[in-house]
Amino acid sequence: MRIHQLSFGLIPGDAVSNSTLAIDAQLQAWGFSTALYAQHVAPQLKAHALPDVQFVPFLDSRDDLLIFHYSIYSPNIRLFQAFRGRKMLIYHNITPAKFFAGWDDHQAALCHMGRQALKTMTTCELAVGDSDFNRQELIEAGFDPAKTAVLPLFLTLPDALKNGRLPKPLPQEKATWLTVGRVAPSKAIADVLRIFAIYKHNINPHAELFIVGSLNVTTYVEALKSLINDLSLVNSAHLVGLVPDSQLEAYYRQADLYLTTSHHEGFCVPLLESMVHGVPILARQSSAIPETLGEAGVMFQELGYEAVAEMAHLLLSDAVIRQQVIQKQQQRAADFNTTRAAARLRAVLTRLEGTAGE
């Protein structure tokens, strides 16, 4: 069986792209013949993938399997719809358009179209979500519940305990906060800044915050810069932008606390990255975040800026609570390690082998 993977883009540092590449490597290790296709292939990854139009000759290959990664509207959904072999959709979730309204109308339209188009993709042998939160959205869009499953994002993460990423001690004086992900309205970065401002101005004046992720929603980024100025955080809150994986690793290594206030996550890879790097997590209880955290990390429900800042202080100053939280996180990270992820992928493929294409 030949296995094709198709996606909107293949871009370094992007979670869906990393997952696509990791699945491809695993499939090849199992001896499958594989190929990757995407509408946008970054120059650095041209050796790994082909333009999506090159999948057209395979549309009638009934013995083949197509894995389609869906995370934003793309015209290449037509290829998925037209394929006559076995099809599996991996739904990585699409941010609801409302979060981009008034900030980036083009992005809002793409998100809206992406969610609408999901309803036209229900004809497939299996549709999986990275989380049960995503799986429920598939069912709401009209997918047969019996043909859905959960397949947590397949990533080759470093093993938390085998790679010397031991739990970090308490920060001495300077506390480094980190948040990672696209700087977009759905992530509510303004809340991160406000919580950090309370901590910085009332508890620890030596604290620093790094916001790492794409800055392409420029209207939102400008508003955040204005907020940073108004909160007197110009020298301590840094909008870093998108960085290569090696640099991202360095940010996790120096971080003492990970904070996310995101309203919408289909899985939230940075939580996993924080777990394996031994960084305690403080997260808004929203969308798929509770599912990814399990019993690990610390969550907040209705946001009280002072309460979250005080909890951050506890995680940064109480050695016992800090170690307990980090330990539980590293246990949780093991649920997503490569061995378990590979077993889950194998189970999904076995399930697909019992089906037939059109």
Partner 1 sequence: MRTPEEEAATIQILDPAVDTTLVHARLTRALATRQYLQNVSQIGPPKLQETGQDIPFSSTENLNRLMIGLLAKEPLHEKPFTSTVPVLGPAIVAIRTVWNWISTRWYVLPIMQQQIQINQQMLLVLNELAQRQELDAQRIAELEARLQER
User: What does the DSSP assignment read for 141-172?
Assistant: TT--GGGEEE------PPPTTTTT-PPP---S
- Under the binding rule (CB under 8 A), the answer on residue 321 touching partner 1 is yes
Residue written as token pair 């108004």: 230
Asked whether position 178 contacts partner 1 by CB under 8 A, the answer is no
Alpha carbon distance 2, 67 (integer Å): 11
Name which of 190 and 242 has its Cβ closer to partner 1.
190
Q: How far apart are CA 223 and CA 246, in angstroms?
A: 29
Considering only 39, 96, 161, 242, the residue that binds partner 1 (CB under 8 A) is: 96
Residue number, 165 or 194, with CB nearest to partner 1 = 194
Q: Which residues contact 335 (CB under 8 A, 6 or more apart)?
A: 152, 294
What is the closest distance, in whole angstroms, from the C-beta atom of residue 168 to partner 1 in the complex? 18
Is residue 108 near partner 1 by the rule CB under 8 A? yes
Contact region with partner 1 (CB under 8 A), list: 50-58, 125-133, 159-167, 223-231:
223-231
Does 98 interact with partner 1 (rule: CB under 8 A)? yes
Residue 285 contacts partner 1 per CB under 8 A? yes
Does position 334 interact with partner 1 (CB under 8 A)? The reply is: no
Please report whether residue 13 would count as binding partner 1 according to CB under 8 A.
Answer: no
Task: Considering the complex, state which of residue 42 and residue 321 has its C-beta at the smaller distance from partner 1.
Answer: 321
Whole-number Å distance between alpha carbons of 185 and 205: 27
Site for partner 1 in 20-49 (CB under 8 A): none
Closer of 98 and 182 to partner 1 (Cβ): 98
Question: H-type helices in the chain, by residue range?
Answer: 15-29, 77-82, 105-118, 132-140, 189-202, 218-230, 245-254, 269-276, 289-293, 305-317, 319-334, 338-353
DSSP 22-62: HHHHHHHHTT-EEEEEEEEE-GGGTTT-EEGGGGGGGTT-T
- 223 near partner 1, judged by CB under 8 A: yes
- The Cα 100–Cα 195 span in angstroms is 23
Counting contacts by CB under 8 A, is residue 218 touching partner 1? no
Q: Which is nearer to partner 1, 267 or 300 (CB)?
A: 300
Q: Which stretch binds partner 1 (CB under 8 A): 23-31, 130-138, 184-192, 205-213?
A: 184-192
Q: What gap in Å lies between CA 255 and CA 271, rounded to an integer?
A: 13
Q: Which residues touch 265 (CB under 8 Å, ≥6 apart)? A: 93, 286, 287, 288, 289, 292
Member of 239, 314, 334, 342 binding partner 1 (CB under 8 A)? 314
Shortest separation between residue 67's beta carbon and partner 1, angstroms: 29
Task: Please report whether residue 288 would count as binding partner 1 according to CB under 8 A.
Answer: no
**Quick one: tokens of 77?**
């959904």
Q: Minimal distance in Å, beta carbon 228 to partner 1?
A: 9
Residue carrying the six token digits 């990270």: 333
The whole-angstrom separation of Cα 157 and Cα 162 is 11
Of 73-81, 193-201, 239-247, 267-275, the window that binds partner 1 (rule: CB under 8 A) is 193-201
Torsions phi, psi of 94, nearest 5? -125, 130
Residue 297 identity: G
Residues that contact partner 1, how many (by CB under 8 A): 52
Closest by alpha carbon to 155, among 172, 177, 130, 176?
Answer: 130
Q: Which of 41/282 has CB closer to partner 1?
A: 282
Interface with partner 1 (CB under 8 A), residue from 93, 148, 186, 330? 186
Check binding of 300 to partner 1 (CB under 8 A).
yes
Q: Which of 40, 48, 182, 201 binds partner 1 (CB under 8 A)?
A: 201
Which positions touch partner 1 (CB under 8 A)? 96-102, 108-109, 112, 185-186, 190, 193-194, 197-198, 201-203, 223-224, 226-227, 230-231, 263, 285, 293-296, 298-308, 310-311, 313-314, 321, 324-325, 327-328
